[in-house]
Amino acid sequence: MNKIKSVIIIILFLGLSSCDDDFLDVTPSNSGDASTSIQTLADAKVMLTGIMSNMTSSNYYGRNFILYGDAKGGDLTTFSMGRGLDGLYSFNHSPTSGSYSGFWNSIYNSILQTNNLIVNIEKLQAAGVEANFDDVKGQALTARALMYFDLVRIYGKPYSYDKESYGVPNILVPLDALEQPLRASVATNYNQIITDLIAAQPLLSKSKTSGYLNYYANLALQARVYLNMEQYPAALTAAQEIIDSGVYSLYSNSEWVNSWTQQFGKESIFELAILPSEADLGNSSLSVYLRRSGHGSASAIGQFIASDYYLNRLGEDPNDVRWGILDYDEVGATHLGASYKYSGDIALAGDGKSTVTAVNIKVIRLSEIYLIAAEAAFHSDKDLAATYLNAVRKRAPDLAPATDGTISIDMILDEKSKELFTEGQRYFDLLRLNKEIVFNDDLGGVPISTRTKTIDRSFYKTILPISQEEINANPEIGNQQNPDY
């Protein structure tokens, strides 16, 4: 029995035990039979809550996935090795050591829960149950699309690079225990992602939601995915509908820094709740991993800090408001490399909860949508692209606004780096656009033997290997291992 199958049986038997307080307080109508445990709309909502909670795992949005996107993208560096998750920076990956299989296991755990929810909803609908499951089903389909999008970017080559290469197993239903799912192509994964998003869109509420997915979060994911597929008109259309709706609005320069001390602010399109009683990772949280060594806790050992390349980019304007979420690190009093987005602010205010480490994860913000719109519009209307870019670029008040004559893809990428620092985006942007990634290895004199100082997407370790434990459980997938591993 392979690992994916083992995971689904355990999940279903336990009735999705990893979830928030509401989930723990509600028992599905038929908890003794997992395959038919969803009998009511309340049951379905309970299971959805459990899925959202699982997405805050340390192996997913709770920590590692965010660090993956910045440590590998050159915006983060390390002052000293041996402090935790070094392999994300050094690319010290192999099937048997440093495979970071937690991504595979954690995300498939959530996918298999989601598949169970979708299939059971469809059974109830087919049986004529009167309750309206549309919104829950739409959220489940959208969540599954997001999870597959993240998986295929970790384990598969960029769509724009080689869409016919191996992606990840495309599992859409609960599986029989003897099945051995194999990898689909990157193109197949992306087609399924789009299929799920399109199917979910009309089912979803257009109202703001806290900690859940809605119609506009679905559109935001469409914009992200279409941008990765280089389908720029579709990406622009999705982004513009969000912007033009007026449901969300950008923070002013005076609001931006304090926005990190707030939950579910006016820019948050999709935000995962971190609860002190359940999902708070404490000394293993993003808050502690990114703050200055020794600040607030002996467990804060300065795992990752901003690279000089990032700081030089931000330093184009000393009055850029985004300096306000940075503080000095162990390099020196003038090296502002410690990020406090996930601590609320540099005074460790948190975001209004009882613990500073339980800061919500802002998965999609409106500023990203403006920058997606800018990049998508760039290919057809540079004046429009500059308009969207300047809406975010004004956070650096002393920089000249972009014009149709000065705007470039690199300018948009630089702005995205400044705005979304420590939000897990940089690496994937550089890979899809085939940009060189340069690492600030010399900041702390850290010797790296497992990659060169400069890489591009042709380097085989830019995607993770299938772990040996997965291959042992599912031998045929070993024939689909990523090249050169």
pLDDT digits (tens, 9 = 90+) for 150-187: 999 999 999 999 999 999 999 999 987 778 899 999 99
The model's confidence at residue 16, banded by pLDDT at 50, 70 and 90, is: very low
Given CATH 1.10.3720.10, say whether it is the number of domain 205-271+363-420.
no
Give the pLDDT of residue 13: 32
Confidence (pLDDT) at 6: 43
Q: What is the mean pLDDT of the chain?
A: 92
Instruction: Give the residues across from 455 on adjacent strands.
Output: 437
Q: Residues 62-79: what's their mean pLDDT? A: 97
The confidence score (pLDDT) of residue 177 equals 72
The structural domains of the chain, with segments of one domain joined by +, span 1-202+456-485, 205-271+363-420, 282-359
Domain with residues 1-202+456-485, CATH architecture:
Alpha Horseshoe (1.25)
Given pLDDT bands bounded at 50, 70 and 90, which one contains residue 4?
low
pLDDT at 320 > cutoff 90: yes
Residues 231, 237, 242, 243, CA torsion sign: positive
- Of 11-15, 143-147, 221-225, the one with minimum mean pLDDT is 11-15
Return d(Cα 406, Cα 244) in angstroms, integer. 25
Q: Is residue 337 scored above 50 in pLDDT? A: yes
Chain-centre distance for alpha carbon 62 = 9
**Taking 90 as the threshold, does the pLDDT of residue 29 lie above it?**
no
* 192 vs 84, more confident: 192
Q: Determine the pLDDT at residue 278.
A: 86
101-149 confidence digits (pLDDT tens): 999 999 999 999 999 999 999 999 999 999 999 999 999 999 999 999 9
pLDDT score, position 36:
53
In the prediction, which pLDDT does 82 show? 85
Rounded to 10 deg, the angle between the 215-228 and 232-245 helix axes is 150
pLDDT at 32: 34
pTM of the model: 0.93
Task: Report the pLDDT averaged over residues 177-203.
Answer: 95
Percent of all residues in the chain with a pLDDT value above 90, rounded to a whole number: 88
Q: Summarize the confidence of residues 269-295 as an average pLDDT.
A: 95
> Which residues have C-beta within 8 Å of that of residue 148, sequence separation ≥ 6?
111, 168, 170, 189, 192, 193, 196
CB 343 within 8 A of CB 324: no
Ranges 223-237, 238-252, 444-458: which has the least confidence: 444-458
pLDDT at 379 over 90: yes
Is the pLDDT at 3 greater than 80? The verdict is no
- For residue 123, the Cα-to-chain-centroid distance in whole angstroms is 31
Q: What residues contact residue 169 under an 8 Å CB cut-off, 6+ apart?
A: 4, 181, 182, 183, 184, 477
Examine the pLDDT at 195 and tell me if it is beyond 50: yes
